[in-house]
């Protein structure tokens, strides 16, 4: 049963990574059509919050039981990641900003080891190291590198917020009073939407853009279809499967599997947008996959069960 649960959790983590990774492919045509990046983020988060509002109502008792968790998830894991990433993106190259953000799982391992003082499996640590190297190749961090101190700080803040996402997603997973992950996701997106409203100022959105078309590679699609993709698949579905997978696996393993999002983003951009995939990106994708596999295949030593105790008793009797 434990193996089955872990396999199911891994499957959900992979599905979540694919869903998150597809957000850029659908959002880029909208931004190229004239939609401001921050407005794109607001539409994504607010639309997802609206879709999940029935879940929020169903789990309304969480507002009383876990107010700090809901506020933290919305402020940090939703709004914080988005805001700091775009702030970093405005000052440093895309590849560097993406690499900095995906240092989150590495920071997560440090938090587990040195703050929570819990052991970190060698497989998870080794997988994170391999995946970081692979991610550097995927985003080709050496291409046009120009460092801006404030941009780097914003990127590291995005990474910290991403690490907090896994911590919040796993919060309260042990015990009878564990909050429902679906309810936490719904309220997190609701809080994130409120925060992003202040940052993005959506009243300045040019709504006529959403009534037109945008180019996905050589194909013209209604802007509303692309927006629905971003909201329903790359946000609602991605967050729900991601939060549940963290509960079924562990934050450290789910965090390393999340590196696959960058690989998915690059591959989909190659297939759908016609963006070139270099040899280094292919090699990096293989390293990310390898790192994720190393992390998820690591297992802790099994605890002593009743059978072990019986055997020890029998040996003691014989002695």
| More reliable by pLDDT, 288 or 171 | 288
Q: Is residue 107 part of a domain?
A: yes
Tokens 């790359």 -> residue: 234
At residue 237, the pLDDT reads: 94
Spell out the residues 6+ positions from residue 100 whose beta carbon is closer than 8 angstroms to its own. 88, 152, 155, 156, 158, 159
Q: Is residue 301 part of a domain?
A: no
Q: Is residue 309 part of a domain?
A: no
- Mean pLDDT for the stretch of residues 36-48: 91
Domain count along the chain: 1
> What six digits make up the tokens of 210?
């959403």
Task: Please tell me the distance from the alpha carbon of residue 248 to that of residue 21, in angstroms, as a whole number.
Answer: 21
- Mean pLDDT for the stretch of residues 276-291: 80
Q: Is residue 272 part of a domain?
A: no
Residues 5 and 296 sit within 8 Å (Cβ to Cβ): no
Q: Using the predicted structure, report yes or no on whether residue 159 has a pLDDT greater than 70.
A: yes
- Mean pLDDT for the stretch of residues 39-46: 92
Q: How far is CA 22 from the centre of its chain?
A: 12
> What six digits make up the tokens of 274?
């016609």
> What six digits make up the tokens of 70?
């809901």
- Mean pLDDT for the stretch of residues 69-90: 86
- Mean pLDDT for the stretch of residues 32-52: 91
| More reliable by pLDDT, 86 or 60 | 60
Q: Using the predicted structure, report yes or no on whether residue 312 has a pLDDT greater than 60.
A: no
Q: Is residue 142 part of a domain?
A: no
The mean-pLDDT minimum among 114-118, 198-202, 295-299, 310-314 falls in: 310-314
Residue 46 pLDDT class (50, 70, 90 cuts): very high
At residue 231, the pLDDT reads: 94
Q: Is residue 49 part of a domain?
A: yes
Residue 268 pLDDT class (50, 70, 90 cuts): confident
Domain holding 85, by residue range, is 2-116+148-248
pLDDT tens by residue, 168-186: 877 655 555 678 888 888 9
Mean pLDDT for all residues in the chain: 80
Q: Using the predicted structure, report yes or no on whether residue 98 has a pLDDT greater than 50.
A: yes
| More reliable by pLDDT, 314 or 154 | 154
Q: Using the predicted structure, report yes or no on whether residue 94 has a pLDDT greater than 70.
A: no
- Mean pLDDT for the stretch of residues 201-217: 90
DSSP state string for 112-147: IIIIS-----HHHHHHHHHHHHHHHHHTTTTTT---
Which of 207, 226, 205, 197 lies closest to 36, judged by CA?
A: 205
Q: In the chain, what is the straight-line distance between the N-terminal and C-terminal CA atoms, in Å?
A: 36
- Mean pLDDT for the stretch of residues 210-233: 91
Q: Is residue 86 part of a domain?
A: yes
Which of 283, 10, 271 lies closest to 130, judged by CA?
A: 283
At residue 175, the pLDDT reads: 55
Long-range Cβ contact pairs of 51-56 (< 8 A, separation 24 or more):
51/231, 51/232, 51/236, 52/185, 52/186, 52/189, 52/190, 52/236, 53/186, 53/190, 55/182, 55/183, 55/185, 55/186, 56/183, 56/186, 56/187, 56/190
Share of the chain above pLDDT 70, in %: 86
The mean-pLDDT minimum among 49-53, 286-290, 308-312 falls in: 308-312
Pairing mode, if any, of strands 219-222 and 213-216? antiparallel
Q: Is residue 265 part of a domain?
A: no
- Mean pLDDT for the stretch of residues 111-116: 82
């Amino acid at each position: 049963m434990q193996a089955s649960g872990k396999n199911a959790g891994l499957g959900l983590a992979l599905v979540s990574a694919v869903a998150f990774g597809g957000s850029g492919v659908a959002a880029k045509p909208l931004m190229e059509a004239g939609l401001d990046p921050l407005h794109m983020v607001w539409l994504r988060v607010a639309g997802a919050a609206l879709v999940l509002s029935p879940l929020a109502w169903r789990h309304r008792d969480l507002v009383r039981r876990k107010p700090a968790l809901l506020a933290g998830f919305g402020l940090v894991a939703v709004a914080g990641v988005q805001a700091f990433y775009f702030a970093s993106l405005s000052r440093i190259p895309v590849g560097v900003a993406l690499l900095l953000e995906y240092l989150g799982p590495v920071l997560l391992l440090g938090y587990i080891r040195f703050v929570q003082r819990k052991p970190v499996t060698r497989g998870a640590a080794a997988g994170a190291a391999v995946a970081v190297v692979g991610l550097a190749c995927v985003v080709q961090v050496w291409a046009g590198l120009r460092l801006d101190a404030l941009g780097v700080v914003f990127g590291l803040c995005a990474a910290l917020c991403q690490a907090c996402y896994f911590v919040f997603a796993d919060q309260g997973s042990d015990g009878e009073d564990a909050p429902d992950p679906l309810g936490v996701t719904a309220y997190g997106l609701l809080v994130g939407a409120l925060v992003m409203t202040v940052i993005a100022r959506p009243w300045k959105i040019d709504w006529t853009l959403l009534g037109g078309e945008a180019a996905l590679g050589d194909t013209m699609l209604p802007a509303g279809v692309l927006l629905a993709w971003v909201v329903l698949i790359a946000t609602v579905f991605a967050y729900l499967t991601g939060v549940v997978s963290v509960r079924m696996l562990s934050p450290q393993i789910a965090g390393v599997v999340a590196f696959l999002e960058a690989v998915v983003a690059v591959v989909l951009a190659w297939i759908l947008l016609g963006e070139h995939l270099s040899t280094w990106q292919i090699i990096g994708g293989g390293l990310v996959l390898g790192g994720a596999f190393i992390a998820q295949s690591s297992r802790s030593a099994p605890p002593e069960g009743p059978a072990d105790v019986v055997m020890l008793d029998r040996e003691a009797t014989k002695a």
